[in-house]
Each structure stands twice: as structure tokens, then as C-alpha cells.
Structure 1
Amino acid sequence: MTPEVVRYRQADLLIGLYRRFGPVVRLGPYTYLLGPEANRFLFAHPELFEVERAFQSLVPVDGPTSLIVSDGEDHQRRRRFVQPALAHRQIAGYVPVMRANAEAAVDSWRAGEVVDAYQEFRRAIRRSTIHALFGEELAKESDFFGAHLQVLINLIDRNPAVVTLLRTLRAPAWHNAMRARRAVDAKVYQAIEAARQGGEAGAVLASLVRGDGLSDLEVRDQVVTLIAAGYETTSGAMAWAVFNLLRHNGAWERAQKDDEYLAGVVNETLRLYPPAVVSARVAAQPFEFAGKKIGQGTFLMYSPYVTHRLAEVFPDPLRFDPGRWEAKPAPHEFLPFGGGPHRCVGAGLATTELTVMLKVLLEKEKPELLPQRLTPTGLAAMRPRNGLRIRVAG
């Protein structure tokens, strides 16, 4: 029987270490800052932490100027070009595209068919993300981006030390990834040039190429980051949301009728299955936290998963309870998209996309969640390792 709440063994280990040793845990090459007070400290003191060094393993995909790997003024400048197209009013304009892609996916299912809901919505989310942010022409290449970006995602889904070794040895996995990157870059640079010449472009691409604020490399890195990170994290969350609706008695039926409850389903999904199980920083200078000294250059990790599953933050934390969201938690208590100046710029887009696609699914007859063993994988984008099998009603 499929469990009601799926546990991630590696992350559960961190909860045990937090209980035993407190908010500062040294484990191998990493120092973990765990729990809500550690999050509060980290978000309140960005000057103590470097992001660029912490996320070097993402550079093969996202590029050296990506928001994810940018610090200080460079980060703020690039963020100013991306943010306007991801404001709430702009996101509302993307809803028809999201809905159309969700309907196309769900309407293609046949009665009695067994489908992988994770992969089905992953394709729909990728296409709608590209279409909404970068335009219809680039969206036509959605499957191309999916195939080639997956090669790159598979590379960086490994331990960073392994990625470094593969690069040093120029191993086949590295060569294949770089070949895929060149193919992706060719498509993106072509779209950038067309947009600079006044051609069709989505809201974000138009904003990025406006004026002389960003180089072509900077535009390329933001485009690829928003595509790859956007569908990789949101599709994982979508799979867990579908699981929650089908696994918990009455959840599907209530969400069909109550938009507020559906919003709670989305938040509970992001609480129990946050896209980033852990995130990283590097200490930019020595500091002290919770009575422990942290040296400059220390590689630090913090964990939304740990915070979200602490009983002192969320009572009865392993209970799926969409009703608990009548009270809003503090930013350092609920952080599925990080926090502080580096909070994910696409958070609003992701929650809207989840809500819209779930609404489309809820308009159909309830599918059957098949018995299966769900194993979480991915520390930066938690997803069910073998997908999520459901049987279409009818």
C-alpha cells in the first residue's frame, strides 16, 4: 500500500541530527544550519554568505551569470530585468497558456489507461513555462529543450565532486552534456537575436533584451535558468500534489469545490515536499551562530525539508492538513522557494501554475492512484524517482 506521507531518508537523518546536536551540525565537508532560527539568521545576514561559490556545480547548465549563481550588485541588476515579467499582474496573463497546456495533456488520456502523472505534467509545465515567458516560437521547441536539458540536468544531479571529476577527466558524460548545452545555446541565442531585432518574444525575453542592460550571455543564462529550474522544480511539486489529492480521503472532492482548500493543498504539498530539500551557501567571512564559530570558506547547507517537518513549527507535521493554512507562517518557517534577497524569483509563477493545472485535473473524473513505492530523489528538485502511476477513470 502506498504510504500517506512519503519520507526522504537522507533528509530525515538531518532531522535526527538537529534533535541531537542543535541548529549547527558538522557532517563531512558540510556544516548544516538547521531549523527556523538558522533560516532567520541566514536570510537576515546575506552579507555573511556567498551564493556564487555555493552553486558552482550548476554552472554547466545555468551558466556563470545566472541569478542562481550571482551575488551582490550583479544579482540585483539581473534580477531587476527578470522581476517585472514575474509580477502578479503579469502572471495572471499567463494563466490561459497554462490552462491550455494542462488541458492538452489531460484530454489526451484514454479511459482505463495507466499514465505517469509526473511525466505528463512535466511536459505540460515545460511547454507552458517556455510559452509564457519566452514566446510561442521558442515553445515550439519544448521537446527539443526537454531532451537536451535533461542530459545537462542528469549531469548536475550528481554529487558536485563527481561533476568536477567528470569535467577534469573529460569523461563521456561531460562531453555529452557539453554537446547538449551547445545545441540549447544555439536555439536560445537565435531567439535572443530575433528579439533584439524586434521579433516575437515572451514577456521575460522582451524584458531581458530591452536596452543595453544585459549582454547576450547574461540573457542566455537567465533564459536557460528559468526554463530548466522552472519546469524541473514545479513538475516535481505537481506530482506530489496529485499524490496528495488522490491519497488522502476527501481531499479530491473538497478541492473540486473549494478554491481556498485547493490553495491549502498547494501549500501543504510545498511544505511536505519542498522543491529544494537543502540549499547551499559559503561563508564569506567568519561568524558565530548558536554558540558555534563558522570559519570563512565553510560550505553551508540549510534545509526547508527539516524546518517544514518540525512539530514545534507545524504541529503534527506528518499530517496532510490543508486547513492549517488559515494562519500564515513566518518566512523563516515556510521556505519552499528559499528566502531573503535570493528567494526564487519564479515563486509566484510556480504556485500559480500548480493551482491552474490542478484545477484542470480536478474538472475530470477522479483517477485511481495505483499501489506503488514512491521514493523521493533529487536534493535540489525533489521528485518521485519512478514517477507517479495513475489509472485514468472510465
Structure 2
Amino acid sequence: MPNPPVTLALPERIGRWARRRGPVFSIGVPPVRNTFLIGPEANRFVFANDTLFRAREAFRALIPVDGETALIVTDGPDHARRRSLVRPALHAKQVDGYVRIMAQAADEALATVPGEEVFDAYALFRAAIRRSTTLSLFGERFASRATGFGDDLQPVLDMVDTWPQAVDLHERLRTPRWRRAMASRARVDEVVLEEIARSREVGPDADAGVLSTLVHGRDESGSGLSDLEIRDQVVSLIAAGYETTSGAMGWLIYALGSDRALQERVREEVLPVTGGERPSAEQLRDLPLLSACVTETLRLYPPATISARYVAAGFEFAGTQVPAGSMVIYSPYLTHRDPEVYADPLTFSPERWLDGQRRPPHEYLPFGGGAHRCIGSTMATTELVVMAARLLSRGRIELAPQRVRATSFAAMRPRSGMRIALRDTSTNA
């Protein structure tokens, strides 16, 4: 029998409050007061009324990593302009060109697995996704620097993976942790700005990945992104891929390893299509069950279990007045696990996504929604399909005895890794 889904304490607690108090309720006292809008209709309201909210105050803790001009912390016309210039680099056709890099990164990581011994698959694919994302951004020339780049970024990611108030305190006190993080960011900035300068010098280069598109892209007015804007979008993409995509990969492995029958069905789909070799972008379209497993993973384990908006203009929702200056919290996790939205919501059932079944954005929101919906969603889902296909081509996933728990702030991920063994790896049977 498949293992039960892993739960997370904070959104589960919010869910209990919502069942007692209704879809709108507030906790705390000014200036630390959060208003919770829970359920699909609340999500719909937030996504449809972007002018009532600002993202910058809600995600200010990410500025030390992502930068002042990152899409996640900008609003209004500035956000719309930058988004229009970043979007072409992450269009589905562009992402198709990164499939080879994704598969190569997965294979290189899996080549280090010693036979059928137990290993931490979450840690292994975390490194593979970091390398894949970096190479997709910068191209093959950057390969030798990819690992060091990710290592330099980690202290900054660790510092912001906490409550925003804690980040503010580190900054005000200039704690040793803050200073280490800022030193790491300076090393990251040096590398990225060097690559930006090189790209401007050599001109557009189809083999230089996302960076070249960002450097040389222009909007209708002929305007492009500044070096600072490019730096912030590049680091945002790496940080998001490193944290959110790797977390989702861990849960996908858990789901497949928990259900032997489902795993065999997916392997029986993957192996005839790919022949056990690296898949092409076209072959990915012939893997509907694996793609549905990815979609279902993101439903049951959304990267952002809760998300936030700062209220710029007061409003009324469900008969409750929400004043300007409040922080609104909504929850993809609770929506995705709501029995009034999804039948049998705690069962991992990719079948609910087959035959072209879709859900509206306010019911399925692993990448958020509205003006701030994650611009890298296509790249993330493609990477998950590619890496899972390569893993399943190596053998059957067998979960090792372990206590699987979740942790979350920047992203929902396995707290202590995901220990597995691969069986029949020599035959790919």
C-alpha cells in the first residue's frame, strides 16, 4: 500500500483555524498582523485584483538573494516591463533547447551512484538541478564554474530561509551570518556581472543560454535590461531552481517510490519512448503519465505552501474589511488538499490529470497566479520530467527505511533528504 502523504505543521494549523473561523480571519496585532484568505475563491480574488496588493513588502526577505529588481519583489509598470523582457528566455520553445542539458546533468549525477547502495536522491538531484539551471543560463562555457557558483550562493539562501523579521534583524545587527551571506553574494555578483559584460562584448549567441537572451532582448520601445536587472533575474532563476525544483523532485521520488505499481506503469511508458537514452523535447510529449505524476506532485507538495501579499489599498472580502497595511496570506497547500476542490485529495493520483484534464488557476496554483505567477514554471516542470525519466531509466526506485518529514519556508522540501536505492540498474529492466 502506498505511503501516506507527508504533512506540514504550519499550513495544517492554518487549515484548522480556517475550519473554525471561516475563510477570512486575522491573527496578531499591528504592526505584525496577518489576514488569512483561505480557499479557491480567496485565491481568485487575490489573483484578479493585483492593484490592491504589492509583492515587495511581502517578499522583502528575498532581496538579499534575488536583488532589488527581481520579478518577485517588484510591482506595477516596472514589474510588467521586466517580465516582458524575461519571458522570451523562458518560452516553451526556448526551454526545449535546454532538455539535452537537463538530461546530461541528471546522468552525470547518477553516474556517481555506487551500484545498488542507498544514497540521498534529494541531495543528488539538488546538485544536478543547480548545475542544469546554471548551464541553461550561461551555456557550456560556464560548465567549469557551475559548482563553485552554487556553493557561493548557498549561504545567502540559508539566511533567507526563515521568517522575514529574522532576516531584518540579521541585517540591522550586521550579524556574522549576515556578513558571511553578503560576502557570498559579492562573489556571486562578480561572476554574473563578468558573464554579462562578456555577453555584451561578443553579441547575441544562441549557445550562451538564457543570459544572452536577457542581455540582448529589447522591448517595443527598444529598451533592454540593465546589468543590475539582468543580475537579479539570473540569480532569481538559479535560487528558484535550486530550492523549489529540487524540493519537488524529492517529493516526486517519494511518490513513485511509495507506489510500486504506479512506478512500474511509468517505467513501462518511459523506456519504450526513450529506449533508455536521453530524451528529446519531442519525446517528452509522449510521456503523459510521467507528466501527470509531476503535476500531481506539485498539487500535493506545492513549493510555496503559503504565500503573501501586502495590502496597498483596503478592500472587503467575504463580508470582512481588510485594511491597507495588512499582510494577506493565502495557501496553495490548503487549496490543493481541500476535499471540496479535489476528490480524495490526500491520495497521489496522477490519473486526475490525464485526458487533458485541467484546473483553473485559483484551484491549481503551485506556481502562484496573477501578475506574479512564476515565470519559470515551464522550465521547472520540464526539468522534473527529464530528470525523473533518467532516474527511472537507471532502475526501480526503492525507498530506504526512514522517517520522511517536510520543512518549508522558501520551499516545501524533505527535511532529512530522500534515501533510496536503485534496483536492476545494470539491466534497465
* TM exceeding 0.5: yes
Give the structure 2 partner of residue 304 of structure 1.
Answer: 332
Query: 1:8-42 CA distances to partner (integer Å, 9 max, x unpaired)?
Result: 12111111122222211212221111110000001
Match of 1:252 among 263, 272, 277: 263
Residue 293 (structure 1) aligns with: 321
Whether 1:13 and 2:43 are equivalent positions in the alignment is no
The superposition leaves residues 75-134 of structure 1 with CA deviations (integer Å, 9 ceiling, x where unpaired) of: 111111111111111111111111111111112212132211011001111111111122
Q: Secondary structure of 2:35's match?
A: strand
Counterpart in the other structure of 2:421:
391
In structure 2, which of residues 97, 101, 105 is the aligned counterpart of residue 97 of structure 1? 101
Matched, 1:328 2:339: no
Assess if the C-alpha contact under 8 Å between 2:56 and 2:74 holds in 1.
yes
Q: Give the Å deviation of 1:203.
A: 3.2
Match of 1:184 in 2: 188
- The 5 A counterparts of 1:61-80 are 61-80=65-84
Aligned twin of 1:31: 35
Shift of 1:257: 2.3
Partners of 2:337 and 2:210 lie apart in 1 by 35
1:25 touches 1:32 (CA, 8 Å); kept in 2?
yes
Cα deviation, 1:122-176, whole Å, max 9, x if unaligned, reads 1111111111122223343221122121100110011111111111111111011
- When the two structures are superposed, what TM-score results if normalisation uses the length of structure 2? 0.89
Larger displacement relative to structure 2 (24-33 or 312-321): 24-33
Residue 300 of structure 1: how far off its partner (Å): 1.2
**1:2 Cα deviation after fit:** 9.3
- The one-letter code of the counterpart of 2:39 is G
1:45-65 residue CA offsets vs partner (Å, 9 max, x unmatched): 101110111111100000000
Query: Equivalent residue for 2:275?
Result: none
After superposition, the CA RMSD in angstroms is 1.5
Helix, strand or coil for the counterpart of 2:202?
A: coil
Residue 11 of structure 1 aligns with an amino acid whose one-letter code is P
In structure 1, what is the Cα distance between the partners aligned to 2:147 and 2:95? 23
Instruction: Tell whether the 8 Å contact from 1:279 to 1:380 is kept in structure 2 after alignment.
Output: no
1:205 aligns with 2:240: no
Q: Which residue identity lines up with residue 250 of structure 2 in the other structure?
A: A
Distance, in Å, in 1 between the alignment partners of 2:399 and 2:19 is 35
Residue 3 of structure 1 and its aligned partner are, at CA, apart by 4.0
Q: Does the Cα contact within 8 Å between 1:273 and 1:305 map onto a contact in 2?
A: yes
Tell me, yes or no, if structure 1 residue 50 matches structure 2 residue 54.
yes
Secondary structure of 2:420's partner? strand
SS across alignment from 1:315: coil
CA apart distance, 1:379: 2.5
**How many residues end up aligned between the 2 structures?**
394
Deviation string 1:212-250 (CA, Å, 9 cap, x unpaired) is 522111111011101111221100000000110010231
Tell me whether 1:83 sits opposite 2:87 in the alignment.
yes
What residue number does 2:236 align with? 225
In the alignment, is the contact (CA less than 8 A) between 1:98 and 1:125 conserved in 2? yes
- 2:366 pairs with 1:362: no
Which residue, 219, 232, 239 being the options, matches 2:250?
239
Further displaced range: 142-151 or 45-54 = 142-151
2:148 paired residue among 135, 141, 144: 144
The question of whether the paired residues in 2 share the 8 Å contact of 1:185 and 1:220 is answered with yes
Whole-angstrom distance in 2 between the partners of 1:364 and 1:373: 25
Gaps of 5+ in 2: 270-286, 425-429
**Alignment match of 2:312 (pick from 259, 284, 295):** 284
Aligned: 1:154 with 2:158:
yes
Structure 1 residues without counterparts, runs of 5 or longer: none
Task: Give the conservation status (yes or no) of the 8 Å contact 1:376–1:385.
Answer: yes
2: distance between equivalents of 1:18 and 1:215? 44
Q: Is the 8 A contact 1:278 1:380 kept in 2?
A: no
Change (3 A) 1:40 1:24: same
1:375 aligns with 2:405: yes
With 194-203 and 276-285 compared, the bigger mean Cα shift is at 194-203
Q: Does structure 2 conserve the Cα–Cα contact (< 8 Å) formed by 1:277 and 1:380?
A: no
* CA–CA separation in structure 2 for the residues paired with 1:89 and 1:283: 36
Q: Does 1:22 align with 2:6?
A: no
CA distance in 2 between partners of 1:302 and 1:141 (Å): 39
